[in-house]
Structure 1
């Protein structure tokens, strides 16, 4: 059945407050799974089962799908759709409240999801900070949000960009038109692949580093020198030592340089954390 038919059968009206824009084109879900290169040994965690259109495609390829859905109104729909599907495990609970350590013994853990915009940042933060090691994560976001995650400099570049790129390299997989969803959202979507990069999180304390980055971006229109002067008395000398022009703006400084700045500041403080 089509997405609209499933929803009509169970008299389900989607809630804007839950960010419910359900994928309605099975061709798109098939293409997502194809590009994900799932094999029979993979265990996939899906966040937001929705009407199950993507879950169904993943289950055709993966060893197991562990999927989370917060809206219990969808329970009868999903129970019917996956009746007899032994490799689909549905949890009607909030993924943000889930203890991810229980997945630590899964050898080939991957994430795939169409994430509601209003909790995109929270889900990324939870996975990067709490998840056991995973092979990759493939997520669908609103296009503008995705551009911010991929940005390396200039207008879209932000603490969010740096946060994500501290943990992962980000790769654009495909764009998805808004016409492939019910109800039709106002903007198009993009699918991104996150490949973990553990070297940075082994070198620094990510949470403390991000406090530092937020200070650097505290006034975007000001120079990096201006933003750091409250925590570094000899700011200009400090920046010059790591070959940064004190007149640079926060959006002009790449991730690697921010890490150098942070390490140098810790060196000056005797590796003391906190700002």
Structure 2
């Protein structure tokens, strides 16, 4: 669907796009095909798509996946999607707020892949919530603002390294990715985007009961990322326990959280959890 066709369709349906929903539609068929290729779908797989918009990615997903469940919050677009794609037997359209659905219900992601051009406005918190779900997707192939992709790929010591990288990295590893130019979207956003593959870890880095402690540590440290990590941790945990794990890991007492690796955060979590329980 060309930008002019999108514009005409929206005009015919008297639909004005809502900025707060981050509505911008990917129309470039080449980029859409690249997303499908990256998803590596089989006819046996079920896909969840959040924010299908007018359905250009949905159409391609229906050709490659066994079943597609699309979740759309905008009732105006629901009508269009039903008209365009409702005839497919392997298609389920759900009118819901994706954030509320993930947070307030026992949404079962098991045996699913998440493949979506995520609305910019909810992308980061949604990814964090989905990654933390007990039955998380086996893989996620998501289109995001390029700056968010950079944060998912960030290394310790870089300006992009922080909460998002660590909370997603606890459960997923980053795979392939590619840049999508802003001109591939309508309306054209002010920034470029990127599509990234996130693969669920086969072996969890932490047991489920320690994940909230990990999140607490990471958020504490990066809320004041320029301050010394040891000093920040001592606000919530016994000083002796903090000093002991720093010595065990060979961490400098002056180090900031932005230079600590995911694996080191995991070990710190294990140690401080024991101190918290004793």
Asked whether the 8 Å contact 2:24–2:187 carries over to 1, the reply is yes
In structure 2, what is the equivalent of residue 254 of structure 1?
Answer: 261
Q: Distance in 2 between matches of 1:152 and 1:101?
A: 33
Equivalence map 1:205-244=2 (5 Å):
205-230=210-235, 231-234=237-240, 235-244=242-251
Moved more, 249-258 or 114-123: 114-123
Please tell me the root mean square deviation across aligned C-alpha atoms, in Å.
2.0
Question: Could you report, residue by residue, the CA deviation over 1:120-173 in whole angstroms, capped at 9, with x for unpaired residues?
Answer: 122112212235243201111101111112212121111221101001001242
Q: TM-score, normalised by structure 1?
A: 0.90
Asked whether the 8 Å contact 2:46–2:113 carries over to 1, the reply is yes
Distance 1:71 1:58, change over 3 A: same
Q: Tell me the matched-pair count.
A: 269
Q: Distance in 1 between matches of 2:67 and 2:246?
A: 50
Q: Which runs of 5+ in 2 are unaligned?
A: none
Q: Distance in 2 between matches of 1:76 and 1:173?
A: 33
In structure 1, what is the equivalent of residue 161 of structure 2?
Answer: 157
Matched, 1:135 2:135: no
Equivalence map 1:1-275=2 (5 Å):
1-2=1-2, 3-98=6-101, 101=106, 103=108, 108-130=111-133, 132-154=135-157, 155-197=159-201, 198-202=203-207, 205-230=210-235, 231-234=237-240, 235-269=242-276, 271=277
Asked whether the 8 Å contact 2:210–2:273 carries over to 1, the reply is no
Q: Where in structure 1 do 4 or more consecutive aligned residues deviate above 6 Å? A: none
Q: Distance in 2 between matches of 1:102 and 1:188?
A: 31
